[in-house]
Structure 1
């Protein structure tokens, strides 16, 4: 669904201020993130470093500035987080984990660097694939996050996401994974972190996207789940993660990505949501916050921009609702 008819890239200056995305400010904000090493926050968020790089790089691509970060430095950092066992840590010296491994693969895919990976780390792609495959429980089909065994549908989705980008989905039992997702389905059409857990928009994203990758969206009641997701929109236009909770910019992605895959995106008020997302910008220093007036961060910045892309905001590159990556990148990797 088109948000507005009218200006394409370069025409945003003609839009009213309240409907304007401050692209240049957001680009500079993301570029500044690795220069704040004298701030406590920088070191307190070291456990999110690789994730943060994926969030920032993805936002820059969607904003139309794919070269705003130095490619060679990004690639060097990513490879410095790779362990001999094929898993990625959040930063050099951190333990390998599924969540960071997925971000590592997504960054490599975005940079079109899989061949470089294999040249610099012989058999690198295969090692990563084997690390991910080794975290699948053969009995239940679900995945652990690391060697310590925590299980969550986020890890299952991450596994299918990364393996499909590397064309290594055959390394795992996809049918068993699908069975596990179905065991997490609830009466309201939603999904939780595990069987019996409460439906939550974030977990619904992981399950619907995993089923999309597996080619099994036929298992989802599109109307029932679409209705539950559309009810996440509040009067101010923002979306929440579950009933009786506050709105948050990040749910612009978690909710709408599933609606997009279910072909029900038109069930929410796109213009009101757009206005809410844009109110969460810092118009001076760039970045987006969870809600208007709060501190910005790169997590909410990428998911706000990705949400605007789903709403076809003028000038933004198309985002893939299954992968939260530029559509042009996933088409290249998946051959679609």
Structure 2
């Protein structure tokens, strides 16, 4: 997720929401800033395996809220570097094994904080070292494993393309050098994951899921193959499936017969934005649903109204509002 204008962005007009239903920006900023101070709480230690990604989620939310400096830059960078391994991969926290997911989060944090110069100072040729860790995880069929144990997933394929593009090391960004990865094999795998309903699954033949739709569209977008693969007819078919994810409450689910969840405001909303079909959703109702998931007193956003908040749903709820052009939020790139 990067902070830039994306195609097909929506706009919720003034007067379409109740006057007392507003995004509690200051509360959300305070909530995110407080997360690292709760070290005496059990939840803090139970989520250690998500720490780097949690920092990325919080930092992204703060950027979108217009408070990019709310977390101490030097402290964040020091923690990220403490998770870096000799092989160029990052773990979720110091002492954790390197993994694609946390490597991607670390690269995204470095990109947002303009931390690549510090990386090169600490680790000579650090960007290339990270890129080689990622490239070695590509499998013969174009997929990427998450780590040395070999589990593959379109999340890891998307993460590889995302991180390498931020590092400036995708093949199209360095056409005169030997490619680090096989882009064509990766996009061919993604295309094989598309189903008759227009959606994409975890692997060829797997059930369509909104989260996998996001990863697959993101891969095709980064590779420059989104329009050529789908075309307008394909976008209509996929857009129809995605629009059916909106339920009576205004919230979105990941697949048929599942509960709504605020995080799908991002997974579905970003996908609809990438194919220029965001206007097919009832944006005022979705906006109302996200705002009702807030804790108006302590800040943070939950999966559903009345549930406990967490930083994961906070960032993806805010990012969903950004896609819909909510007043005061920075624009987010859907890919």
Q: TM-score, normalized by length of structure 2?
A: 0.92
Aligned to 1:165: 166
Could you tell me how far 1:174 is from its partner in structure 2? 0.5
Match for residue 272 of structure 2?
A: 259
Cα RMSD of the aligned pairs, angstroms, is 1.1
Give the one of 38, 43, 46 matched to 1:44. 46
Residue aligning to 1:316: 329
Unaligned runs of 5+ in 2: 1-9, 172-179
- The answer to whether structure 1 residue 291 and structure 2 residue 304 are counterparts is yes
**Whole-angstrom CA distance in 1 between matches of 2:86 and 2:13:** 49
**Quick one: distance in 2 between partners of 1:102 and 1:48?**
12
Give the C-alpha shift of residue 116 in structure 1. Answer: 1.5
> Which residue pairs with 2:123 in the alignment?
121
Q: CA deviation at 1:84?
A: 0.5
Tell me, yes or no, if structure 1 residue 219 matches structure 2 residue 211: no
Partner of 2:291: 278
**Cα distance between partner residues in 2 of 1:309 and 1:222:** 22
TM-score where L is the length of structure 1: 0.92
Quote the Cα distance in structure 2 between the aligned partners of 1:2 and 1:250. Answer: 19
Deviations along 1:51-76, whole A, 9 cap, x unmatched?
A: 00000000000000000000000000
Q: Which runs of 5+ in 1 are unaligned?
A: 7-13, 323-336
Partner of 1:73: 75
Q: Which has the higher contact order (CA 8 A, sep 6+)?
A: 2
1:17 match:
20
Give the counterpart of 1:237 among 241, 250, 258. Answer: 250
State the shift of 1:15 in Å: 7.5
1:5 deviation in Å? 4.3
Partner of 2:320: 307
Compute the displacement of 1:252 (Å). 0.2
Q: Confirm or deny that 1:182 pairs with 2:191.
A: yes
Tell me the alpha carbon deviations over residues 17-54 of structure 1, each in whole angstroms, 9 at most, x when there is no partner: 12x00000000000000000100000000000000000
Q: 2:98 aligns with which of 91, 96, 99?
A: 96
Structure 1 runs (4+) deviating above 6 angstroms are none
Matches within 5 A, 1:118-157: 118-137=120-139, 139-157=140-158
Equivalent residue pairs, number: 313
